[in-house]
Structure 1
Amino acid sequence: MASVCGKMKLQLTIGLALLAACCLTNAYQGDGQPGCKTQQEIDIGVFRDNWDATSFWKCETLNEPASKMRCPDEMGYMDSLKDCVIWDDWKWEKPAPPLSEVDQ
């Protein structure tokens, strides 16, 4: 019986590891800089920098790439709040692609 439980635990662990690997490979991996090509991006205004929790992107002009902005010291940017917060209140959020991309 112990051998069956051990095999089931191993199979569950392997299954969870494969699921996590699939999720990570399908996750958006860009820095999140929007191209500011839509009015919706201008209306929203600020977007998460996916590579730097202390920074965010700001769309101010249609068809002009966003500017990189920094949070004040001791703060991180939370996209769900569209604001910088103290680290005690900061929570990781899943990266998402911007509405439009910067032309390369």
Structure 2
Amino acid sequence: MSGRDYNGEPGCHSPEELQRNFRHFWDPTAYWKCGKADQPAQLQHCPANELFYDREQRCVKWKDWQWTEPQDPPTRPRK
């Protein structure tokens, strides 16, 4: 996956990834959640009229959301 094609999905290989959610790089209403180590991340969606705010690690109303620079997770999926 090259930088422009990468959607932010974590590899779920590190303990840190199991403790937080990761923004979807292309869809601000979606985020990635690791369930178990070395299992694929699950794509989650915020409720209607909310966006995932990575600074707060949760969905917020669109008026409370601010764009932030995407940050790569510690690992990527093994494809």
Q: Same fold (TM over 0.5)?
A: yes
In the TM superposition, what are the counterparts of 1:1-104 in structure 2 within 5 Å?
29=4, 30-44=6-20, 46-104=21-79
Higher helix share: 1
State the identity as a percent.
34
CA–CA distance in structure 1, aligned partners of residues 70 and 19 of structure 2: 20
CA–CA distance in structure 1, aligned partners of residues 68 and 58 of structure 2: 13
Any stretches of 5+ residues in structure 1 without a counterpart?
1-27
Q: Return the offset for 1:32.
A: 0.6
Regions of 4+ moved over 6 Å: none
Q: Aligned Cα RMSD in Å? A: 1.0
Q: Return the offset for 1:58.
A: 0.4
More contact order relative to length (CA 8 Å, sep ≥ 6): 2
Cα deviation code 1:44-94 (max 9, x no counterpart): 2x1111110000000110001110000000000001100000010011010
* Larger Rg over CA atoms: 1
Higher strand share: 2
CA–CA distance in structure 2, aligned partners of residues 98 and 31 of structure 1: 11
Counterpart residue identity of residue 18, structure 2: I
